Structure 1
């Protein structure tokens, strides 16, 4: 892969975050100015607020409610739900015509063509997904035989976009240990895709650069201010 092609992927990632992830993140953050968006535990939330800031005020309570949602579950859910748009928008040049296969690429390390199921992270499949992935790979292998394509077992791989070896769940381990499919995790996946061992680090930096553009800290403070003024939050302080 040329340097120009690698830079094109980085720009696609930035564009995807600007056009898909950030707007969803902003929308989901702004709606949290309404306390009805939270399932409030009146015993635990004040404790968390005081633990977080060292004081119990409407503002500390608002932050205790907001931070886990905005910086945790909200963005994680949004990214996961838009996984297919990531594949189509960022990795579209590697798209596969084989049913059940997300992308095809020439492995930069062994030079062989890989048929890849792309997954988000090391804990993002469940037990049922194991059999589904296995069936997709089996169909791809049979199609290769039918069309005289030299598809070997280790040409069928699961590409995990982030994480480190050893973090993979038992379901991923089952694909590897029981069904003998290769797992390309995090840096290894992007290295094999691009041929650049530092690409994974560049990718993370590119995403962080886009996050700075969003000016999320200002928006978070504004939403916390609005939430802190609601009667529901004030009552938690007493």
Structure 2
């Protein structure tokens, strides 16, 4: 074990955090009004008494952004976790399906499926992860039947007071970062480097966001508002839900 040097973590973040911000902007650039209108519940907009095109458009775009950012940043944090674990324990990104990280510690082989937060999946998704763990353990024991394999679901933030899940362990937040780094304080020390050029990058994002809101608001008004400016709810619902709508 080699203790983590926070300077290395800072350099990694400064070098790679731009990729996260670029993907945020790229996600907006690739968005279309038709795509987001198809995904969302038009009845909810009516029930919430939304009266303007901009209110509806912001609701659509903000929901997309929230979901996308969670996924993109989760993937980015996975890369950071692998980098840190490699420095400390010589870990590596796994080539086994469903496994993100492999490393040896205390004479055991740890296989890690990483997620952003603790409440990430339904019953079928968790069952799939457990199946992946079993398959991975079987694969790793081929040619080394005595290998002790320990499966871990690691979550970058949050808490879990029952880490032993029977078939695997679930470590969240402080416990996860301590598990992969051996540093119980790392979970708080990560915060400062993550703010590298955050304002500058967010200003770029906000500029793209404003353009998207303006463009979609105009498109929505032209397509789904009557001549008097009122939202044509029947037309909107037909577009979203009619069997003859394409």
Q: Does the TM-score normalized on the shorter chain lie above 0.5? A: yes
1:18 and 2:5 matched = no
Map 1:4-153; keep pairs closer than 5 Å: 4=5, 6-19=6-19, 21-32=20-31, 34-38=32-36, 39=38, 41-45=41-45, 47-48=47-48, 50=50, 56-70=51-65, 72-79=66-73, 93-95=90-92, 102-106=101-105, 113-121=108-116, 122=118, 123-124=120-121, 125-141=125-141, 143-145=143-145, 151-152=147-148
What SS class does the counterpart of residue 156 from structure 2 fall into? coil
- Greater fraction helix: 1
CA contact (8 A) 2:4 2:183 kept: no
Query: How far is 1:187 from its partner?
Result: 1.4
CA contact (8 A) 2:157 2:173 kept: yes
Structure 2: distance between partners of 1:48 and 1:167: 37
CA contact (8 A) 1:88 1:95 kept: yes
Indicate the residue corresponding to 1:53 in structure 2: none
Normalised TM-score (structure 2): 0.66
CA contact (8 A) 2:78 2:114 kept: no
Normalised TM-score (structure 1): 0.68
What SS class does the counterpart of residue 103 from structure 2 fall into? strand
Alpha carbons of structure 1 residues 193 and 81: separation in structure 2 relative to 1, 3 Å: closer
Indicate the residue corresponding to 1:187 in structure 2: 174
Structure 1: distance between partners of 2:46 and 2:94: 54
Structure 2: distance between partners of 1:212 and 1:221: 16
Structure 1: distance between partners of 2:152 and 2:111: 5
5+ residue gaps, structure 2, are 232-246
